[in-house]
Structure formats: C-alpha cells, structure tokens
Amino acid sequence: MEPVKIEEVQTLIDRYAGKEVYIHLETTNGSYATHVDEAFFNAGAFIRNAKVTYELGKIIGDSPSRVGLKIELGWIYAQGITHYELDSNKRLIMAGHDHEGKLAVALQISETPFD
C-alpha cells in the first residue's frame, strides 16, 4: 500500500461509480483493547460483501482522509484513511493504519465478492 494521494485515489473511486460493487467496511480497536486497559470502551464494526451501487464517491482532506460514497438510499463513510492500493484483483483497498502499524479502519471496493 502507499500513502494516500488524493487525486489518484479519487480517480480510482470514480472508476467504480455507477457499477454494482462489493464493499468491505471495517473499524476496529482490536479484541484486546479492554484487556490491556480496562477503562477503554471497545467498539468496532465490519460489513463484508455489501452489494451496492454508488452514484458519487469522494475522498477529502489531508491524510488521514475521509471517504464518502453516496448510494441510492444512503451513505457509506470512512474516516482515518491513510493508505491505498489497487490490488492484483483490481480491488481498491483503502485503510487507515495508526502510528504503530495497526489497522484502525478499512474501506474496500471490488467488482467481485471478497473471499
């Protein structure tokens, strides 16, 4: 993965607009957050292989950036995106990695289902 370059990521996001795509969206603090610090309120969520079509998608802001995808009846949103990659399966992988190298957020777009 490479650090986000807004224009390049925007071009890639545009490529999937108007197409039926599969989304992986995830945010996490890790399963051990409360074990390590009992005062920490651990929350996270993921959805894998949500099938959507977005009419408009944008990436905004200096890294860590925000990405919003406007779908027919609502939105897909991720905050904290630092890195991206177009992988060998032509999937747009966007993720936010913290200073220790741990993934905090992921938003991935693919024309074929994720494994």
Partner 1 sequence: MIEKEKHVLVIFPHPDDEAFGVSGTIATHLQMGTGVTYACLTLGEMGRNLGNPPFATRESLPLIRKQELQGAANAMGLTDLRMMGLRDKTVEFEDDEKMVGMMKNLIDDTNPSLVITFYPDYCVHPDHEATARAVVRAVGRIPENQRPKLHCLAFANNTQSELGAPDVIHDVSAVRELKLNTMRAHLSQTAWMLKDLEKRLAQNEPEAIEWVTKERFYNYRFDQGYN
Give Cβ neighbours of residue 84 (< 8 Å, ≥ 6 apart): 1, 2, 4, 5, 8, 9, 12, 92, 93, 94, 95
Residue 29 DSSP code: -
When the beta carbons of 14 and 37 are compared against partner 1, the nearer one is 37
Exactly one of 5, 19, 35, 70 binds partner 1 (CB under 8 A); which one? 35
Minimum CB distance to partner 1 smaller for 49 or for 53 = 49
For residues 14-33, which are near partner 1 according to CB under 8 A? 24, 26, 28, 30-32
Q: Is the peptide bond before 113 cis (omega within 30 degrees of 0)?
A: no
Does 106 bind partner 1 (CB under 8 A)? Our answer is: yes
Which residues neighbour 97 within 8 Å (Cβ) at sequence distance 6 or greater? 82, 83, 103, 104
Helix (H, G, I), strand (E, B) or coil at 30: coil
Most distant CA atoms of the chain, gap in Å? 45
Least distance to partner 1, CB of residue 23, Å: 12
> Under rule CB under 8 A, which residues in 45-104 are in contact with partner 1?
46, 82-83, 85, 87, 89, 91, 93, 95, 97-104
Residues that bind partner 1 (CB under 8 A): 1, 3, 24, 26, 28, 30-32, 35, 38, 46, 82-83, 85, 87, 89, 91, 93, 95, 97-104, 106, 108, 114-115
